[in-house]
Amino acid sequence: MNLEQKDWWEGFLTTEDAVILDVRTEEEVANGIIPEAINIDIYKGQGFIYQIEELDKNKTYFVYCLAGGRSAQACGIMKQLGFEKVYNLVGGISQWEGPVEN
- Is the alpha carbon torsion for 59, 60, 66, 72 positive or negative? positive
Catalytic residue among 19, 40, 65, 89: 65
Active site residue 65: yes
Among candidate residues 55, 96, 97, 58, the one with its CA nearest the CA of residue 74: 55
Q: Judge whether 62 and 8 are in contact, CB under 8 Å.
A: yes
SS3 assignment, position 75: helix
Catalytic residues: 65
